[in-house]
């Protein structure tokens, strides 16, 4: 699992205070066929950075400390550096993804190789988010995210537009010069003619998908071949700690509006179970390392204590109370969703 030599699939990510979730996320994506990880960390209070150092020593990943200041946000600073990192140069395919996002392939053996085999001419896969709601879970627990949160948005969700956003698994063939949060950036116009983008159902994409688009088409199932499970909320206690951490790529905070636009629990989704047996074996191997297991336990304890400390703050208490009061987000009717889309199109046309 060394970072040296050519790699088939690389994930690039940025982390702060994610130690309680790190090992499951790594095990899941190793089970999916990811060869290596390039991880940047900043301002960690829970020992995530120490965990990453240990994992780097074990050959699982490359860890790059990313101390501030971060004028454009820690994630953008990390991606700028990552573009020059040897791990990126060695990768055949690259995905920029966060620790609350889990790739779930529905083809073949559920690996990324099986996905590529379904569309061998593709140079980029737009992995549309599938929003997983909170499902009424209040307390943070040290249990796998993929086995705790089992309800999600329906396969066709025409609103809100953020629920149709995607991350991009792309072939590292020189068509794009820079990494981006949702998609590769700075395309070489001379190479775009050879770019072959497809969505999560294998349909060809064209136009602005090749240059700057970050959300999939509305009103269709984008998950026939692959989906990106997005566990953006977690438990209510977790969300409070997430708000305290802040956003990685821009200003603003995680507020009740963020919660409402993502708290879909309309249908059961067990897509992550396909990799469950392999994921659990790899997770057990990681926990078998005494130092890594100790650091994980410390990160879990930190998260629990941090929530208790945050309840001394009036604004955080108010938000926690609002979460307790707020039901799961309902799916808009086609008529209501169509009205919102029409309003959005009219607003864009006036700009």
The predicted-structure confidence for 180-221, as pLDDT tens digits, reads as follows 999 999 999 999 999 999 999 999 999 999 999 999 988 889
What integer is the mean pLDDT of 292-303?
98
Helical segments of the chain, H only: 19-31, 48-57, 74-82, 86-90, 112-118, 145-148, 236-245, 256-260, 276-287, 290-310, 314-325, 334-349
68 within some domain: no
Res. 171 pLDDT band, cuts 50 70 90: very high
Cα 287 to chain centroid, rounded: 23
Res. 6 pLDDT band, cuts 50 70 90: confident
User: For residues 57 and 280, what is the distance between their CA atoms, to the nearest angstrom?
Assistant: 22
207 within some domain: yes
217 within some domain: yes
3-state secondary structure 86-101: HHHHHEEEEEECCCCE
What integer is the mean pLDDT of 285-312?
98
pLDDT at 223 over 90: yes
Cα 190 to chain centroid, rounded: 31
User: For residues 113 and 64, what is the distance between their CA atoms, to the nearest angstrom?
Assistant: 27
User: For residues 14 and 173, what is the distance between their CA atoms, to the nearest angstrom?
Assistant: 23
User: For residues 15 and 38, what is the distance between their CA atoms, to the nearest angstrom?
Assistant: 11
48 within some domain: no
At a CB cut-off of 8 Å and minimum separation 6, what does 318 contact? none
Res. 1 pLDDT band, cuts 50 70 90: very low
216 within some domain: yes
Cα torsion through 247, 265, 257, 125, rounded to 10: 50
User: For residues 118 and 221, what is the distance between their CA atoms, to the nearest angstrom?
Assistant: 17
Distances (CA, A) of 131 to 21, 151, 157, 233, 237: 18, 9, 10, 9, 19
166 within some domain: yes
Cα 34 to chain centroid, rounded: 14
* Predicted local distance difference test score (pLDDT) of residue 68: 85
Distances (CA, A) of 54 to 50, 78, 97, 180, 213: 6, 20, 21, 27, 37
Instruction: Tell me the Cα Rg of the chain.
Output: 20
Judge whether 11 and 97 are in contact, CB under 8 Å: yes
The predicted-structure confidence for 41-51, as pLDDT tens digits, reads as follows 999 999 999 99
Q: pLDDT over 90 for what percent of the chain?
A: 89
Judge whether 106 and 226 are in contact, CB under 8 Å: yes
90 within some domain: no
Count Cβ atoms below 10 Å from residue 66 Cβ, excluding itself.
21
User: For residues 320 and 138, what is the distance between their CA atoms, to the nearest angstrom?
Assistant: 9
The predicted-structure confidence for 237-283, as pLDDT tens digits, reads as follows 999 999 998 765 554 578 999 999 999 999 999 999 999 999 999 99
What's the domain range around 155? 97-349
* Predicted local distance difference test score (pLDDT) of residue 32: 98
23 within some domain: no
User: For residues 270 and 147, what is the distance between their CA atoms, to the nearest angstrom?
Assistant: 9
* Cα–Cα nearest to 176, from 187, 163, 165, 190: 187
Query: pTM for this one?
Result: 0.96
Number of domains in the chain: 1
Judge whether 152 and 130 are in contact, CB under 8 Å: yes
């Amino acid at each position: 699992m060394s970072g040296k030599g050519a790699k088939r699939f690389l994930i690039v990510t940025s982390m702060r205070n994610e130690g309680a979730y790190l090992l499951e996320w790594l095990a899941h994506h190793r089970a999916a066929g990811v060869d290596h990880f390039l991880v940047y960390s900043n301002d960690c209070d829970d020992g995530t950075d120490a965990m990453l150092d240990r994992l780097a020593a074990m050959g699982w990943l490359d860890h790059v400390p990313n101390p501030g200041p971060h004028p454009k946000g820690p994630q953008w600073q990390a991606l700028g550096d990552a573009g020059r990192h040897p791990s990126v140069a060695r990768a055949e395919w690259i995905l920029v993804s966060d620790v609350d996002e889990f790739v779930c392939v529905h083809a073949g053996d559920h690996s990324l190789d099986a996905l590529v085999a379904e569309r061998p001419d593709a140079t980029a896969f737009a992995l549309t988010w599938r929003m997983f709601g909170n499902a009424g879970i209040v307390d943070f627990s040290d249990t796998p995210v993929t086995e705790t949160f089992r309800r999600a948005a329906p396969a066709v969700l025409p609103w809100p537009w953020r629920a149709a956003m995607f991350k991009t698994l792309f072939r590292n063939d020189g068509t794009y010069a820079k990494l981006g949060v949702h998609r590769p950036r700075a395309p070489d116009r001379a190479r775009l003619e050879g770019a072959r983008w497809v969505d999560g159902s294998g349909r060809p994409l064209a136009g602005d998908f090749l240059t700057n688009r970050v959300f999939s088409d509305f009103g269709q199932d984008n998950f026939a071949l692959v989906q990106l499970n997005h566990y953006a909320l977690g438990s209510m206690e977790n969300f409070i700690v997430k708000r305290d951490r802040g956003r990685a790529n821009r200003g603003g905070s995680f507020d009740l509006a963020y919660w409402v636009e993502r708290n879909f629990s309309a249908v059961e989704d067990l897509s992550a179970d396909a990799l469950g047996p392999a994921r659990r074996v790899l997770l057990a191997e990681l926990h078998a390392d005494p130092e890594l297991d100790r650091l994980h336990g410390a990160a879990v304890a930190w998260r629990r204590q941090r929530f208790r400390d945050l309840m001394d703050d009036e604004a955080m208490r108010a938000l926690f109370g609002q979460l307790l009061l707020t039901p799961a987000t309902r799916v808009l009717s086609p008529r209501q969703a169509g009205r919102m889309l029409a309003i959005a199109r009219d607003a864009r046309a006036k700009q």
